[in-house]
Amino acid sequence: MEYLIAFVVGGLVCVVGQLLLDVGKLTPAHVMSTLVVAGVFLDFIGVYDKFIDFAGAGATVPITSFGHSLYHGAISEAEQHGFIGVATGIFEVTSAGISAAIAFGFFASLVFKPKG
């Protein structure tokens, strides 16, 4: 049942993104930014951790989880180091994901012919 819930919730996040593209006529960059900010906002009001407990990978895999990670990193480092901790915390927590995206993007560009 956990797999089904994760699949449905992750799919619903994708449906929201697709609706923003098709109905809202937003660009992919706007949709991505909107979903990241939505993850930050949901974590700010205290809902995203409960959402992760319910949906598991359905809540941790989509782009909204990146916003959740950014918020957690910024808040935890800000509590320890003050204002400068906000910037360092964001990069400390999310550096592995950002590095992986850059590396996989580079290797994909070697295999396939990128356009644009």
The amino acid occupying position 14 is: C
Each residue's pLDDT, cut to its tens digit, for the chain (116 residues) gives 889 999 999 899 889 999 999 998 889 899 989 988 998 899 899 898 898 889 888 888 878 888 888 888 888 888 888 777 777 877 777 777 778 888 988 898 888 876 76
HEC-encoded secondary structure of 6-52 = HHHHHHHHHHHHHHHHHCCCCCHHHHHHHHHHHHHHHHHCCCHHHHH
Write down the pLDDT at residue 77: 81
Q: How far apart are CA 71 and CA 48, in angstroms?
A: 11
DSSP sequence for 62-102? STHHHHHHHHHHHHHHHHHHTHHHHHHHHHHHHHHHHHHHH
Residue 88: per-residue pLDDT: 80
Domain ranges in the chain are 1-111
Question: For residues 30 and 47, what is the distance between their CA atoms, to the nearest angstrom?
Answer: 23
Give the model's pLDDT for residue 67.
Answer: 85
Q: Which among 63, 24, 64 is positioned nearest to 41, based on CA atoms?
A: 64
pTM, two decimals, is 0.75
